[in-house]
């Protein structure tokens, strides 16, 4: 009903969805689902019934401009020492998840029959779920997966399963049983599972909010210029993380006076989850090959079991595991978004860093698994 070119109408719809989620999150059941979960489901249904479009120029604007700003805003008070100490545990959970992803793809290749392209599809999914969808196209091209029907089916399944996985981990982060089983160092987390309205906005001033936005925008601009100059434009998020984390450490006494930047970051990330939910296409997924359902389901199950087992063995906290798992399956923007929404400030940078590592390792994992299953080079 709302056209893709109707910018203000679409913005009103997205903000309305976000406001609805913020309101419902005050209820007992809303806190269990969380604001992000409510947004994902509402936006998905709104797009499915044609209320909002699945793609629009505004969605690209939110992804390109608001997501980097949100990450920079939330990192303004990051603790560099805790980033490094927590980063090691997130990396361990990430590597466990990566091993589970590859093992799940290999196991699925033995269980299902996807024809002559089975090894290629397994390799593509292994790469996709080791750092996010950025690896999909690169590995599909590397292994020679050119069947357009299989490519579109794989993309559709990746899209909807990805949203489902984000929603599941979002719910898991709030489950009391999960928190008890993996509650080590919960005092450090400070139980940040709070509704949006409880974010630290007390004492916020127009000067403080504008200052936080100015510093964050400057950091995004500098990171873009630096990454372009170094020829690593694809890793701009990595450069941004390093710049803001160092800035937050060196300028802690000055930045400590800022208030309300958390609320701005969370508002931007709420819009981000709205466009993620809107982009999921249930219709295309239902038309995909059943074998692909089994393969992706197998990957997710083995991945989850690997992270849970290593987390229990090494006493990793549930927040570290959720962040690492999302960095592996969905990529750094999603991992950072969940950390921001749950106010796990010192897990934002590790989530981004491990997710970017997944960009690098995912291509090798996908091509390597394809070569192994084929019994030779592509």
Of the candidates 197, 213, 322, 313, the one whose C-alpha atom is nearest the C-alpha of residue 258 is 213
User: What are the E-state strand segments in the chain?
Assistant: none
Concatenated DSSP letters of 282-294: HHHHHTS-HHHHH
Tens of pLDDT along 96-137? 999 999 999 999 999 998 888 999 999 999 999 997 777 888
How far, in Å, CA of 82 to CA of 341, rounded? 19
Residue linked to tokens 């409510």: 38
Query: Are the beta carbons of 348 and 339 closer than 8 angstroms?
Result: yes
Mention every residue, 6+ apart, whose C-beta is less than 8 A from residue 218: none
SS3 42: helix
Can you give the pLDDT at residue 86?
A: 67
The count of other CB atoms within 10 Å of the CB of residue 309 is 12
- Quote the distance between the C-alpha of residue 253 and its chain's center: 31
Can you give the pLDDT at residue 132?
A: 78
Can you give the pLDDT at residue 68?
A: 93
| Angle, alpha carbons 68-248-71 (nearest 5°) | 15
Q: How far is CA 222 from each of CA 13, 75, 319, rounded to the nearest angstrom?
A: 33, 15, 30
- Quote the distance between the C-alpha of residue 256 and its chain's center: 27
One digit per residue, the tens of pLDDT, for the chain of length 378 reads: 899 999 999 999 999 999 999 999 888 888 778 888 899 999 999 999 999 999 999 999 999 999 999 999 988 887 777 677 768 899 999 999 999 999 999 999 999 988 889 999 999 999 999 977 778 888 998 898 888 778 888 888 888 888 899 999 988 887 877 878 887 766 655 444 344 444 545 567 888 899 999 999 999 999 999 999 999 887 898 899 999 988 988 888 888 778 888 889 989 999 999 999 998 877 766 666 788 989 999 999 999 999 999 999 999 999 999 999 999 999 999 999 999 888 888 889 999 999 988 988 998 999 999 999 987 545
Can you give the pLDDT at residue 192?
A: 46
Residue linked to tokens 């601009």: 221
Mention every residue, 6+ apart, whose C-beta is less than 8 A from residue 204: 259, 260, 263
Query: Are the beta carbons of 196 and 52 closer than 8 angstroms?
Result: no
Can you give the pLDDT at residue 50?
A: 93
How far, in Å, CA of 326 to CA of 43, rounded? 20
Tokens of 194: 């709070």
Q: How far is CA 345 from each of CA 202, 262, 348, rounded to the nearest angstrom?
A: 18, 10, 6
Can you give the pLDDT at residue 147?
A: 81
Mention every residue, 6+ apart, whose C-beta is less than 8 A from residue 302: 100, 101, 103, 104, 107
Of the candidates 159, 92, 169, the one whose C-alpha atom is nearest the C-alpha of residue 128 is 159
Tokens of 93: 């959970």
Q: Is 6 left (phi over 0), alpha (psi -120 to 50) or beta?
A: beta
Question: Can you list the domains of the chain with their CATH numbers?
Answer: 60-374 (1.20.1530)
Can you give the pLDDT at residue 193?
A: 38
Can you give the pLDDT at residue 187?
A: 60
pTM for this model (two decimals): 0.84
């Amino acid at each position: 009903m709302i056209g893709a070119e109707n910018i203000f109408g679409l913005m009103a719809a997205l903000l309305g969805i976000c406001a609805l989620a913020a309101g419902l999150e005050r209820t007992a059941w809303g806190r269990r689902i969380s604001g992000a979960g409510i947004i994902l489901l509402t936006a998905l249904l709104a797009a499915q019934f044609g209320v909002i479009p699945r793609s629009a120029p505004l969605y690209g604007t939110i992804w390109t401009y608001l997501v980097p700003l949100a990450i920079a805003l939330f990192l303004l008070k990051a603790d560099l020492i805790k980033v490094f100490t927590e980063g090691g545990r997130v990396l361990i959970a990430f590597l466990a998840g990566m091993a589970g992803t590859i093992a799940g793809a290999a196991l699925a290749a033995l269980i299902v029959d996807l024809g002559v392209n089975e090894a290629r599809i397994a390799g593509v999914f292994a790469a996709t779920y080791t750092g996010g969808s950025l690896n999909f196209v690169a590995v599909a091209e590397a292994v020679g997966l050119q069947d357009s029907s299989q490519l579109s089916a794989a993309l559709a399944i990746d899209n909807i399963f990805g949203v489902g996985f984000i929603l599941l981990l979002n719910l898991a982060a709030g489950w009391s049983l999960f928190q008890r089983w993996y509650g080590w160092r919960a005092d450090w987390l400070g139980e940040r599972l709070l509704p949006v309205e409880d974010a630290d906005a007390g004492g916020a001033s127009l000067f403080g909010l504008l200052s936080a936005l100015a510093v964050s925008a400057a950091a995004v601009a500098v990171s873009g210029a630096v990454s372009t100059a170094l020829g690593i434009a694809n890793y701009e998020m990595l450069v941004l993380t390093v710049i803001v984390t160092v800035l937050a450490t060196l300028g802690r006494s000055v930045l400590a006076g800022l208030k309300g930047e958390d609320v701005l970051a969370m508002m931007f990330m709420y819009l981000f989850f709205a466009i993620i939910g809107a982009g999921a296409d249930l219709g295309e997924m239902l038309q995909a090959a059943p074998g692909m359902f089994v393969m992706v389901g197998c990957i997710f199950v083995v991945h989850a079991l690997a992270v849970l087992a290593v987390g229990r063995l090494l006493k990793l906290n549930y927040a570290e595991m959720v962040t690492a798992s999302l960095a592996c399956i969905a990529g750094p923007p999603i991992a950072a978004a969940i950390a921001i929404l749950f106010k796990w400030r010192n897990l934002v940078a590790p989530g981004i860093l491990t997710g970017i590592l997944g960009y690098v390792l995912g291509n090798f994992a996908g091509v390597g698994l394809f070569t192994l299953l084929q019994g030779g080079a592509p």
